Chain A
Amino acid sequence: MINAAVIRQTLREAFVQPALLFAIIVEVAFIGLLTFGISLDFENDILVSMKLFGREIDETLLNTFVSNLIENMVNLISALLMFLFIIGSSFLYPYMLRDPLLGITLTKPISRTSLFLSKYAGFILFIALSIILFSIAVWFILFSKSSGHVSDSVIVASISFCFEFIIVFSICSLLAMIIENASGVALLGIGIYYILGPLMANTDNVHNLVITIISLLLPPIGQLSIITKDIVILGVQSNLTLLVVSFPYVVVYLAIAIIIFNRKDLP
């Protein structure tokens, strides 16, 4: 079902995607910031001083500052990376449909379903590698700077972030098969993730038919985003079942996208 050659080719294509290259630059810059910009000092497992670009943080503000800093950084980095990943993923299928090699690829012994899923898997692999390596690097830097006083929540959060992306990407894939336009998919994907998702996360007590229908059609993206951040900031890992609950949505979205792809006439 999954073709290794297509996965490798998708990885190659992802490496030259401007949005994804920029995401890697953001990750490297953040790692550089942590490596060279922050210095931590622990005594008996307690953070006693912190220097930010050589400037000492006031001892009385230390705890509040650190928690605010972590929260802001997590919010900023996760929002920026997801933004870039959504843009990068929006190009995958519309470009595939216009790829001059598509016709040739489909005369090889590979089905459209297999091609679609292999592209999906290849792209997820790229994002997962990028995020997990990034989080391991962040964890390692914090571990070495704090002499081991750091939890593994960063790594757990990266896995949660990947699941979040898998769900968002399935929506983008379906949209791509329907509208075949990368910019349109990017705009809709961003709108769903940054506007509709958070809105729907706060409608538990709202009784409205339209909102009920949307909440049935969309996976709980807003709540998933909150979970990922909670893992990093609070170390809470209790609501991971929500990720599992969201997976039927992925299956349904991909199944519909594959049906549409299978019925398309190639240009």
Chain B
Amino acid sequence: MSSIIETHNLSKTYRTNFGKRRILALHEVSLKVQQGEIFALLGLNGAGKSTLIKTLLDHVRPTSGQAFLFGEPIRSSNKWKHRVGYLPELFSAPKLMNANQVLRYLGELSGLKGKNLAARVDETLQKVGLGDASNQKVNTFSKGMVLRLGIAQALLHQPELLLLDEPTEGLDPLGRKMIRNLLTELSCNGVTILLNSHLLSEIELVAHRIAILHKGHLVAQGKLSDLLPQDQRFEVEVSLNPSLNDSWQFHPAGSNWLCEVQGYELQHLVSALETKAIPVLAVRPIRTSLEDVFFSYISQSSDD
């Protein structure tokens, strides 16, 4: 499978105060995104997610390292520009233009013309749910509608690669679901998607692979299943407080008692409970969410 995005030791340091102050935005980030993948970048504010996307788009010059799109260095030519769609964070459009005019302008810049342009504008506006608002001025749009327009412009020229910075920020649950379905559909059609989002639950539903950035460092990347702790945790429920040793702390939950244990400890605990003739009411696996994984990597990285 071919790499659509590839970075090798990509670093970026911003200089402020006439070069006196340096801010590390990216530190030797190396990653690969394959065709048709939905790849999510996670990180706290200022982690370097947007800088990474801007570096890939040649909006920001890397301090060192290399970035490739479609197998070619980004600075070598502009050919990749025909194949990329981009939604920036905090997208906004000229207030006095209507949705149709905004898309026509950006469509023309993408090389679309005449009837093809008009057809693509109509089709894309329908796709993002703005079909009825095509002649409405942008200054009358809600935050969600502006974002949908931003997604429409990114999709307009049918790109092979989509770079989306916070594509669901500010959308209502219905809008988020629509975007989620759209991303899944695009991915099934072979479109590669790199997205930034703070909404971890959304990412968990759509992303094939994730990368976690923290203070410019890539602290983890891989499939969600690979990033989850290998040792599953379980919750054991009993009707009496067994008062076992210190390593198994039971706490009351209604009329019963609960204890969380690692998978390798489960058998020992159940045996101990059987010894004390305390019946086990339930053993439930504890699901580790992306949020748990994310914070675990962030805290590990901070400790390092």
Contact = CB atoms under 8 A, between A and B. Distances in A.
Interface of A: 3-6, 8-9, 12-13, 16, 100-101, 103-111, 263, 265-266
B72 interface: no
B91 A6 contact: no
Contacts of A6: 109
Contact of B90 (A100, A105, A107): A100
Given A104-B106, A104-B153, A265 B60 contact: yes
B223 interface: no
B254 interface: no
B290 to A, nearest CB: 28
B81 interface: yes
Interface residues of B, number: 28
Interface string B143-154: 000000000010
A108 B106 contact: yes
B52 interface: no
A107 B91 CA distance: 14
A238 B254 CA distance: 101
B57 A105 contact: no
A103 B86 contact: yes
B295 interface: no
B90 A108 contact: no
Nearest to A16: B96
A108 B109 contact: yes
Nearest to A105: B109
Contacts of A106: 57-59
A180 to B, nearest CB: 14
Contacts, number: 62
A100 B92 contact: yes
B78 A109 contact: yes
Contact of A103 (B14, B54, B78, B94): B54
B61 A265 contact: yes
A72 B60 CA distance: 51
B108 interface: yes
A265 B93 CA distance: 21
Nearest to A109: B81
Given A108-B81, A266-B60, 13 more contacts: A8-B105, A12-B94, A12-B97, A100-B90, A101-B106, A103-B59, A104-B86, A104-B106, A105-B106, A108-B110, A110-B81, A110-B109, A265-B14
Contacts of B78: 109, 111
Given A9-B105, A107-B81, A266 B54 contact: yes
Contacts of B94: 12-13, 101
Interface in B269-297: none
Nearest to A265: B60
Nearest to B93: A101
Contacts of A111: 78
A103 B91 CA distance: 10
B230 to A, nearest CB: 40
Q: Which of A8, A101, A108 has the most CB of B within 10 A?
A: A108
B156 to A, nearest CB: 10
B301 to A, nearest CB: 26
Interface in B100-127: 105-106, 108-111
A210 B84 CA distance: 51
Contact of A107 (B60, B84, B92, B111): B84
Given A265-B59, A266-B54, A266-B60, A5 B90 contact: no
Contacts of B96: 16
A265 B97 CA distance: 27
B60 A109 contact: no
A4 B92 CA distance: 22
A3 B88 CA distance: 23
B177 interface: no
A2 to B, nearest CB: 13
A266 B59 contact: yes
26 contacts: A12-B97, A13-B94, A100-B91, A100-B92, A101-B94, A103-B57, A103-B88, A104-B88, A105-B109, A106-B57, A107-B81, A107-B85, A108-B81, A108-B106, A108-B110, A109-B81, A109-B110, A109-B111, A110-B109, A263-B61, A265-B14, A265-B59, A265-B60, A265-B61, A266-B59, A266-B60
A212 to B, nearest CB: 30
B82 interface: yes
A250 B126 CA distance: 46
Contacts of A104: 86, 88, 91, 106, 153
A263 B59 CA distance: 9
Contacts of A105: 106, 109
7 closest A-B pairs (Cβ-Cβ)? A108-B109, A5-B108, A266-B59, A107-B86, A109-B81, A100-B92, A265-B60
A112 to B, nearest CB: 9
A12 B93 CA distance: 14
Nearest to A99: B94
Contacts of B91: 100, 104
B106 to A, nearest CB: 6
B144 to A, nearest CB: 17
A16 B94 CA distance: 11
A153 B93 CA distance: 44
A103 B78 CA distance: 15
